[in-house]
Structure 1
Amino acid sequence: MSVFLDRERELSQLHERYQSDGAEFMVLYGRRRVGKSELIDQFLRTSRGIHLIAREESKQLQLRKFSADLSAYFQDPFLQKNGFSDWDSFFEYLIQHADPRVVVAIDEFPYLIKEDPSLPSVLQEYWDTHLKNTSIFLILSGSSISMMESATMDYKSPLFGRRTGQILLHPLRFIHVLDYLGDMKKAVEFYAVFGGTPAYLMAADPEENILKNIEEKVMREDSFLFRDVDFVLRTELVEPRYYFSILYSLAQGNNRIGLICNDTGLSKSVVNKYLSILIDLKLVHRRIPVTEGQKSRKGLYFLSDNLFDFWFSFVNPYLDTLERGNAPLIVDRYVRPHFARYVGKHFEGMVTDLFDSFNRHGLLPFVFTRIGSWWHRGEEIDIVCLAEDEHRILFCECKWQDGVDATEVIAGLRRKAPLVSWHNDRRKECFCVVARSFSRRADGEDICLDLDDCTALVEKVRTGKE
């Protein structure tokens, strides 16, 4: 099943630039499977241009392929017979065909650099001397985030300062997956497992329940997702065994550097080094309490992709058993009993995304300017929203459970609220609980949102009603 999900903002950005008069040099990058190629193809449906896809092969074969693709697009029999002999002839050809406006999207650009490190320097010369004065719309795209940044944005690169714009393509937000699936409960469960990576979501079957999807789409040894996490890591990383150890430790809930060191046996310097690389690759992110500054020493580390978290939690530990065709056994014995707890640790992030959407439409008690989690000395609050000008604060707990007693949860929030150091002497406090369902709701102004309430608010966002 192929569905193009969201990306209206990125498409709009590309189309706005396409309407400009001058040359454009766009850098499009992001993790594998995040939808870069599909975004280019969607853009080209309403724009004049060609999508060139690089491969891991010799320079000669790469040039031969680009010659064939361009000769077919421009209907050029001469190029078809002769082809490009080097990158100079390739860029000379682009100069000759850059007017009227044409999009030339070169996908997997890092493959070309890997084969010929001089390519950025060649492109820099042609851009500076000719291409920037044409109507060309050049897109360089790639999945190796570190190589794309170093090759096109680093001050040491020949291409530094040449790009006219860049798009770092992120995974889809929960709100967009909800739009796709339609049902709140199903969207929460599917997002907890497959995350926001379009290729992973497209591998799932929305007509089946989540446990059947896990068994068939993630844990079967012949399924695409069974090996993809391993494939991505081994493609991106030089010493995967250390990274695997750190990612597995994070999936087990070891979110502090000290805990990771104790769990893996790796030194603090090694863990710091590899965490830094994983953050650069957008596989791990660091969170700090919402009331702290970026230099806070209270940072915690989490896996950025839910499928990676699920894979290291439930697939990697049982690989031998799964490879013998025992997916139903692992789902029944290990996934089913712990699944609600697993979803619960991701539910907070989904509610945060919903709140961000509600906030833009004024559907919460006040418009916040900061949102995040809070923790200190063993105490924690799932979501804290701050309105810095008005000194208003909202405390929220997220419970992926049915029959929640909201009065008990809010009592706990009221106990912890004074521990949150933020304008304590003059702030106005609000309290909120989000759960699958409630056995008892709170009285007064306290907010209780079950899945039906959240669905109703999402509908208000869609229709623009307040």
Structure 2
Amino acid sequence: MLERPAEMFDREREWADLSAFATDPRPGALLGVVSGRRRQGKTFLLRSLCQATGGFYFPADEAADRESLNRLGALMADHVGAPAPLAFDGWHQAIDAILGLGRERRIPVVIDEFPYLVRANPQIPSIVQNALAPLRAERDESRTALLLCGSAMSFMGRLLSGNAPLRGRAGLELVVPTLDHQLAARFWGIEDPATALMAHAIVGGTPAYRREFARDDTPAGPDDFDPWVVRTVLSPSSPLFREARYLLADEPDLRDAGLYHSVLAAIASGNSHRGGIASYLGRKSGDLAHPLTVLEDCGLVIREPDVFRDNRTAFRIAEPLVAFYHAVMRPIWSDLEHTRDTGRLWQRSRRRFVGNILGPHFEQVCRAWTRQMAGPELFGDYPNRVGSGTVNDPANRTSHEVDVAVFGLDDDNRQPLLAIGEAKWGDVMGLGHLDRLRRIRSLLAAQGRLGAGTARLACYSGAGFTSELVRIAGEDPEIVLIDVAGLYA
């Protein structure tokens, strides 16, 4: 594997995959696709790869087709040491020239922001397909490792799907994700777990938000969190202030911006189900199928099935900053732009932050931690599936929300229920929460749910636990307590 740059934070798996692709010893040209939301460090990864291997990096612009060809010819001439820019009549010739760069050795060639080129010339994916056709001499005699990169998630998701021209051509499909809550805390240098989680609920795990956007301004601790929000995210002079709006503008499929902003606002206001979103917008539930699908394809919304009810689905905003914008900033946008007392506006909005953003985000972090980081001893086996769901209680004519439902996988490929859990950010959890979980467990057992009778009861709290609950949990291994520090352990 190529030596990873010392200044690169994490991204060990991504670097290993790119290194293996860029040094593949087999003959013939290769195609790879790299995608991910903006500001995740894709460009840094790919530029570093080219520097480590002597590869060629071409950053596409929003430009006319002819201008892009001219820029490619000029940059390629600089790369090969030609005395004058290379002249390409079209993309057929340009792609063959790219394949020619790898005639003597394996070399990565990166076309960054590939969607910009396709927007100006929709034929380019088909041209790449034909250039990489089997038994074609230009492909077979080349060792170019061509990497197409883009941030428009809906476009990149379609590039290799269905009947797309490049389907079946790629040997690498790499999605660069955001940093999880633990890595984000390390990257931001936040040692206090509660402060780290509150910051993650706003800026998520996007690396650029610390370095380029906040200029390394990080909350020093719990007492500095509110001032940090005021001087960074809510400051009109900060790039973070308008970033959520730009994220939507970056997606070419979001043509009716007002409609998509309203759908996101509905979800950020606590309407996680289709009916609630429709009621918020004053529309029929069936009218939301298209906008919700588009937002899902763009990576802005995640569809989460109810683990206990097959016909029920919840929607969650994937990007924390977008959720924060719609729940907190958008309702007071004009005031934020013109007031001198942003601190007062933040204090007025803090309740919305805690209820609409921090609480649901804490639940999601608890689910992610349980699925990806919890050991088998905690729930009696490795979690195979973790989600949330609703359990009906006919006797009391009500239903119960389960924040964390943990399923395993047995030798017969069945998924027994390992645990059910409740997550509360601002509540000190006690015996009342435990009794509620016991009631839900008995309901699931009565329904015949596999493993429900022995499922463990998990309490996740951002405010701690009563001494009585701690004492009982110490005596009963079926009760699991996880605080904020535990999520960062």
State if a TM-score over 0.5 links the two structures. Answer: yes
- Summarize deviations over 1:429-461 as a string: whole Å, max 9, x none: 211212232232241222222234444xx2xxx
- Summarize deviations over 1:302-322 as a string: whole Å, max 9, x none: 111111110001111111111
- Summarize deviations over 1:237-265 as a string: whole Å, max 9, x none: 11111111111011101112111111111
Output the amino acid matched with 1:258: G
Alpha-carbon distance in 2 for matches of 1:233, 1:453: 35
Specify which of 433, 439, 451 is matched with residue 415 of structure 1.
439
Q: How far did 1:163 drift?
A: 1.3
Secondary structure, in 3 states, of the residue corresponding to 2:422? strand
Residue 406 of structure 1 is matched in structure 2 by 430
Specify which of 206, 216, 222 is matched with residue 218 of structure 2.
206
Contact 2:328 2:352 in 1 (8 A): no
Alpha-carbon distance in 2 for matches of 1:338, 1:101: 54
Output the amino acid matched with 1:433: C
TM-aligned CA distance change 1:66 to 1:439, over 3 Å: same
Secondary structure, in 3 states, of the residue corresponding to 1:355? helix
Residue 301 of structure 1 is matched in structure 2 by 315
Specify which of 14, 17, 22 is matched with residue 18 of structure 1.
22
Residue 397 of structure 1 is matched in structure 2 by 422
Residue 41 of structure 1 is matched in structure 2 by 47
Q: How far did 1:362 drift?
A: 4.7
Secondary structure, in 3 states, of the residue corresponding to 1:218? coil
Out of 196-205 and 134-143, give the one that drifted further. Answer: 196-205
Contact 1:358 1:364 in 2 (8 A): no
Out of 212-221 and 138-147, give the one that drifted further. Answer: 212-221
By relative contact order (CA 8 Å, sep 6+), the higher-ranking structure is 1
Contact 2:21 2:172 in 1 (8 A): no
Residue 449 of structure 1 is matched in structure 2 by 482
Residue 269 of structure 2 is matched in structure 1 by 252
Q: How far did 1:213 drift?
A: 2.7
Out of 193-202 and 356-365, give the one that drifted further. Answer: 356-365
Residue 247 of structure 2 is matched in structure 1 by 232
TM-aligned CA distance change 1:54 to 1:405, over 3 Å: closer
TM-aligned CA distance change 1:425 to 1:360, over 3 Å: closer
Contact 2:267 2:315 in 1 (8 A): yes
Residue 462 of structure 1 is matched in structure 2 by none
Structure 2, gaps ≥5 residues long? 1-5, 393-398
Q: How far did 1:140 drift?
A: 0.4
The yes-or-no answer on 1:71 pairing with 2:73 is no
Contact 1:5 1:176 in 2 (8 A): no
Q: How far did 1:166 drift?
A: 0.7
- Summarize deviations over 1:369-407 as a string: whole Å, max 9, x none: 2211121343111111122428452122222136x2433
Contact 1:175 1:354 in 2 (8 A): no
Alpha-carbon distance in 1 for matches of 2:265, 2:192: 31
Residue 32 of structure 1 is matched in structure 2 by 38
The yes-or-no answer on 1:430 pairing with 2:444 is no
Secondary structure, in 3 states, of the residue corresponding to 1:423? coil
Alpha-carbon distance in 2 for matches of 1:132, 1:291: 52
Alpha-carbon distance in 2 for matches of 1:217, 1:132: 52
Alpha-carbon distance in 1 for matches of 2:72, 2:264: 39
TM-score by length of 1: 0.89
Secondary structure, in 3 states, of the residue corresponding to 2:466? strand
Contact 1:178 1:187 in 2 (8 A): yes
Residue 97 of structure 1 is matched in structure 2 by 101
Specify which of 280, 292, 296 is matched with residue 279 of structure 1.
296
Residue 223 of structure 1 is matched in structure 2 by 238
TM-score by length of 2: 0.85
Structure 1, gaps ≥5 residues long? 459-466
Alpha-carbon distance in 2 for matches of 1:353, 1:408: 25
Specify which of 154, 179, 194 is matched with residue 172 of structure 1.
179
Secondary structure, in 3 states, of the residue corresponding to 2:373? helix
Q: How far did 1:234 drift?
A: 2.6
TM-aligned CA distance change 1:426 to 1:287, over 3 Å: closer
Q: How far did 1:52 drift?
A: 0.9
Residue 283 of structure 2 is matched in structure 1 by 266
Secondary structure, in 3 states, of the residue corresponding to 1:158? coil
Cα RMSD, aligned residues only: 2.4
Residues 329-344 of structure 1: matches in 2 within 5 Å?
329-335=344-350, 337-341=351-355, 342-344=357-359
TM-aligned CA distance change 1:324 to 1:114, over 3 Å: same
The yes-or-no answer on 1:186 pairing with 2:195 is yes
Alpha-carbon distance in 2 for matches of 1:174, 1:143: 22
Q: How far did 1:178 drift?
A: 3.0
- Summarize deviations over 1:309-345 as a string: whole Å, max 9, x none: 100011111111111034222112222x444333122
Alpha-carbon distance in 2 for matches of 1:388, 1:102: 43
Specify which of 153, 160, 170 is matched with residue 167 of structure 2.
160
Q: How far did 1:187 drift?
A: 1.7
Out of 439-448 and 47-56, give the one that drifted further. Answer: 439-448
Residues 352-367 of structure 1: matches in 2 within 5 Å?
352-359=367-374, 362-367=377-382
Specify which of 138, 146, 152 is matched with residue 154 of structure 2.
146
